[in-house]
Amino acid sequence: QVQLVESGGGLVQAGGSLRLSCAASGRTFSSYSMGWFRQAPGKEREFVAAISRPGLITYYADSVKGRFTISRDNAKNSVYLQMNSLKPEDTAVYYCAAATVGAVDISRGSGMDYWGKGTLVTVSS
């Protein structure tokens, strides 16, 4: 069992930056591929970014490529999402997910085993 807790959300102006963190419980964090998803009001949850178990391979949604960076620290059981050049359309609840499948599968929206409860990011124009 893995528990995921997101933090770092908040209100930011367009063009600003935020760094989300996701802390995982358990001693097997390094055995999971990790991902970030988001759900905007009235929309379905969508893939944002994914990272492989050792952190060497990353995937991004086209809408965030070049602005967001996913990283992980297996010694700290944590995964991060650095968000720069934020836009109002980035407003959403951001969720952390863990999967035993590969990061490429997370990028296709399948195979997640555990989810966090989410953290709200609001970008004002």
Nearest-CA neighbor of 51 among 76, 23, 67, 30?
30
The pLDDT value given to residue 1: 84
Report pLDDT digits (tens) over 95-110: 999 999 999 999 998 8
Q: 24-45: b or e for each residue (b if 16 or more CB lie within 10 Å)?
A: beeeebeebbbbbbbeeeeeeb
Task: Spell out, as residue ranges, where the chain has pLDDT lower than 70.
Answer: none
